[in-house]
Amino acid sequence: MAPSQDVIDKVLNCIDSDELIKLTADLVKINSVWDPVAGTSEQIAADHAVRWADRQGFEVQQEDVAAGRPNVIISWHAGPGGRTLMFEGHTDVVTPGDISAWRYDPFGAEIVGRRMYGRGTNDTKGNLAAMLIAMAALKRSGVNIGGTIIGGVLCDEEDQMLGVRNFIDQGHADGISGAIICEPQDGLICTRQKGALRAQFTVKGRMSHGAMPLAGLNTAPAVARLITDLHKLETEAVERSGRDAYLGWPSFTPTVIQAPARGVPQLNVMPGEAQVLVDIRTIPGQSHHDIKSKLSALATTIENQIRRDYEKYDRILNKDRLRDLKIAVEILTDRPCTLTERDDPLVAAADWATRKISGTDPIYAGVPGATDGTFLWALKNIPIVTMGAGDRQVAHQMDEWVNLDQLIETAKIYALAALYYLWPESNDE
Ligand SMILES: [Zn+2]
């Protein structure tokens, strides 16, 4: 049975909106862009979280992932029970870019109407504060729940995701039965995420004078073929996998097409090396292993094809030259797509909590990019749900903001989701 209205009220009464807004503002005012040149990192934001968690009586650990880049692991053993719920939120924010282009101070946490402005208000210091307040509310309420809650306040989500990888390496993810990834999803319950596979093709020919192209070997025909064939792979994937209801279509997008691969391009110089970068986004059902083999096969096939084309052409010209064109492929990123089933207890908890607080049917959706949750899911098989306050488009933009009412609602949803997830059956007897 689900917790009664009485229990729900007890928990919600322990959520103090002013405290949530203040904690959000305090975190936003700390510039936690990872910028070794400017001397900023996640350190001060992490220290702030440590002090705050300490005051609540939680167990806290701070662990350096890299110099000046700590993870903070907050844990609270609520009572006997088999489940361990993780709330995950990151301390780093992306650069504000050109500060003079902002209408509000990116580190000012200025409140206008019901919006707070600043870098990280949306992605994701507001949600980080909401998860901490939710944990504190559950503890203060004194309601009887079982199991453990872990608050993972992690570094480096925006770049290499070193924080979550270290969290897993150190064994902190062992025993976690479900994780709520606290990211701006505008109140949606996201149970799937697109995967990302990024590859670099390097085509090696031979450089020559533009007026004497036969003295070299042009990479351009191979580049053209690569682009055409990548689109064929995309079409094949679209036809085979179809459209995911939450994530849309899979895509193979050549994003960088560059020759020369390095140095200054000149009109009368035929470059010796070209580079094609492809950004592949996948949906559940596609195999990254398969795609990687196809990319390798593509490199080999085109290499052979272009060498044969040159052979044919050189026969017409009665020309003898080395036709040793080479195509290599390197995988730069490999992050799988994730899928948590609708009948997972974590999804049931998110559903119940969202219904209770919003009073309407929850809306299910998918996350277009990868998050720290990707690694928890892929490396530790942990069911994940991504949800939180904030317009999904506003992350990483100028004048980033979060709606404070939605943020307060989010803290309540987090608290109730944990309450439901950790509600012991013995409470119903
Ligand atoms: Zn984020």
194: nearest Cα among 254, 253, 235, 239: 253
CB distance 157 to 372 below 8 Å: yes
- Ligand 1 centroid to 8 CA: how many Å? 29
pLDDT-derived band at 140 (thresholds 50, 70, 90) equals very high
The pLDDT tens digits for 99-115 are 999 999 999 999 999 99
Q: Are residues 173 and 59 in the same domain?
A: yes
- Ligand 1 centroid to 288 CA: how many Å? 24
First to last CA, the chain: 10
Distance CA 355, CA 182 (A): 18
Verify cis geometry, omega within 30 degrees of 0, for the bond prior to 221: no
CA atoms within 13 A on the CB side of 290: 8
Beta-carbon contacts of residue 145 (< 8 Å; ≥ 6 apart):
78, 79, 81, 138, 418, 419, 422, 423, 424
Q: Are residues 323 and 199 in the same domain?
A: yes
pLDDT-derived band at 1 (thresholds 50, 70, 90) equals confident
Q: Which two tokens stand for residue 237?
A: 């994937």
Q: Are residues 32 and 124 in the same domain?
A: yes
Mean pLDDT, to the nearest integer, of 350-371? 96
The domain boundary, picked from 293, 312, 335, lies at 335
Mean pLDDT, to the nearest integer, of 280-293? 96
CA atoms within 13 A on the CB side of 312: 6
The domain boundary, picked from 311, 335, 359, lies at 335
- Ligand 1 centroid to 109 CA: how many Å? 17
Mean pLDDT, to the nearest integer, of 377-404? 96
- Give the three-state DSSP class for 322: coil
Q: Residue 113's pLDDT is what?
A: 98
Q: Are residues 315 and 229 in the same domain?
A: yes
Mean pLDDT, to the nearest integer, of 3-25? 98
- Ligand 1 centroid to 27 CA: how many Å? 14
188: nearest Cα among 359, 339, 365: 365
- Ligand 1 centroid to 182 CA: how many Å? 8
Residue 5 Rama label (left phi>0; alpha psi -120 to 50; beta): alpha
- Ligand 1 centroid to 39 CA: how many Å? 21
Distances (CA, A) of 17 to 14, 133, 404: 10, 9, 9
- Ligand 1 centroid to 90 CA: how many Å? 7
Q: Residue 82's pLDDT is what?
A: 84
CATH code (residue 305): 3.30.70.360
- Ligand 1 centroid to 316 CA: how many Å? 58
- Ligand 1 centroid to 375 CA: how many Å? 14
What string of DSSP letters covers 50-117? Answer: HHHHHHTT-EEEEEEEETTEEEEEEEEEEES-S-EEEEEEE--B-----GGG-SS-TTT--EETTEEE
Domain count, the chain: 2
Beta bridge partners of 85: 149, 178
CATH code (residue 50): 3.40.630.10
Asked whether residue 174 carries a pLDDT value surpassing 90, the answer given is yes
- Ligand 1 centroid to 126 CA: how many Å? 11
Q: Residue 428's pLDDT is what?
A: 66
- Ligand 1 centroid to 200 CA: how many Å? 26
Q: If you average pLDDT over every residue of the chain, what do you get?
A: 96
Q: Are residues 42 and 186 in the same domain?
A: yes
Q: Are residues 155 and 279 in the same domain?
A: no
- Ligand 1 centroid to 255 CA: how many Å? 23
In one letter, which amino acid is 194?
Answer: K
The pLDDT tens digits for 59-71 are 999 999 999 999 9
Q: Which domain holds residue 59?
A: 5-193+337-428
128: nearest Cα among 87, 78, 75, 76: 87
The domain boundary, picked from 335, 356, 391, lies at 335
- Ligand 1 centroid to 147 CA: how many Å? 27
- Ligand 1 centroid to 284 CA: how many Å? 22
Residue 94 Rama label (left phi>0; alpha psi -120 to 50; beta): beta
- Ligand 1 centroid to 209 CA: how many Å? 48
- Ligand 1 centroid to 157 CA: how many Å? 7
Distance CA 265, CA 409 (A): 54
What string of DSSP letters covers 199-211? Answer: EEEEEE-B-EETT
- Ligand 1 centroid to 215 CA: how many Å? 51
- Ligand 1 centroid to 409 CA: how many Å? 19
User: Whole-model pTM?
Assistant: 0.89
Q: Are residues 283 and 420 in the same domain?
A: no
- Ligand 1 centroid to 121 CA: how many Å? 10
- Ligand 1 centroid to 163 CA: how many Å? 13
Distance CA 407, CA 383 (A): 24
Q: Are residues 165 and 225 in the same domain?
A: no
Q: Residue 429's pLDDT is what?
A: 56
Distances (CA, A) of 196 to 10, 24, 269, 282: 42, 31, 35, 6
In one letter, which amino acid is 244?
Answer: D
- Ligand 1 centroid to 4 CA: how many Å? 33
- Ligand 1 centroid to 206 CA: how many Å? 44
Asked whether residue 381 carries a pLDDT value surpassing 60, the answer given is yes
Structural Rg of the chain based on CA atoms: 26
Q: Which two tokens stand for residue 24?
A: 């959000």
Asked whether residue 237 carries a pLDDT value surpassing 70, the answer given is yes
Q: Are residues 223 and 189 in the same domain?
A: no
Q: Are residues 208 and 327 in the same domain?
A: yes
- Ligand 1 centroid to 149 CA: how many Å? 21
Beta bridge partners of 88: 152, 181
Q: Are residues 29 and 131 in the same domain?
A: yes
Distance CA 133, CA 234 (A): 44
Runs of H (alpha helix) within 359-403 = 372-380
- Ligand 1 centroid to 124 CA: how many Å? 5
Q: Are residues 263 and 312 in the same domain?
A: yes
- Ligand 1 centroid to 123 CA: how many Å? 5
pLDDT-derived band at 81 (thresholds 50, 70, 90) equals confident
